[in-house]
Amino acid sequence: MDSDFGTVPGAQDMRAYVTRFVAQLTERNRLPLDYSVSSLRIVDFLVDGLRRGGPERAQVEGVLRGLGGYVGEVMVRRAGGRWVDFDAGQREFFEQPVGVRMPDGRAWNPLGKVVNRFEAGGPEESVQRLYLQLHGRSAGRAGGACRSARTVSC
């Protein structure tokens, strides 16, 4: 993967960042990353595979951020969220520069959720489960609390 995926852009550039990441990731692999809710299960499997490989987080940081961006983009496209830049306090708390704000006003940290899945594993850190538990999804769209290294409700 391109090392440039280790740097997350601002909220206004996240869609382009994720699109580029998905294109590069799927260029040689036949992964059905189609921004559907069911594709989040693939993200869980990919992160679990990275964990089994035994690398340090720093070695796969760019891939984790790209996958976290993908999860956020699914939240944006399927649940009515929008990318937001975190303020200084949120950046410190979530350890990420951007997140997704849902129509009910709650901020979510999909990039941090993917890191949690990598570091802790287990079904409680599933990104697909996160989506299915989202509060504040737009009416008519299929879909917890904010997640980072900590679990909070915003």
Print the domain residue range for 49.
Answer: 13-134
Does 150 map to a domain?
no
Give, as one character, the DSSP assignment of residue 4: G
Instruction: State how many domains the chain has.
Output: 1
Q: Rounded to whole angstroms, how far apart are CA atoms 23 and 36?
A: 16
Q: pLDDT > 90: what percent of the chain? A: 72
Query: 47 or 140: which carries more pLDDT confidence?
Result: 47
Q: Rounded to whole angstroms, how far apart are CA atoms 102 and 99?
A: 10
Does the pLDDT value for residue 96 go beyond 90?
A: yes
Does 145 map to a domain?
no
Answer for the pair 144, 107: CB distance below 8 angstroms, yes or no: no
Does 117 map to a domain?
yes
Q: At what angle do helices 110-120 and 57-79 cross, to 10 degrees?
A: 130
Does 21 map to a domain?
yes
Residues 6 or more apart whose Cβ sits within 8 Å of residue 94: 86, 109, 112, 146, 148
The number of angstroms, rounded, from the C-alpha of 153 to the middle of its chain's C-alpha atoms is 17
Reported confidence tier of residue 4, pLDDT bands at 50, 70, 90: low
**Average per-residue pLDDT for the chain:** 86
Q: Rounded to whole angstroms, how far apart are CA atoms 23 and 40?
A: 16
Does 149 map to a domain?
no
Can you give the pLDDT at residue 122? 84
Does 146 map to a domain?
no
pTM: 0.85
DSSP codes, 118-147: HHH-SGGG-HHHHHHT-SSPPTT-----EE
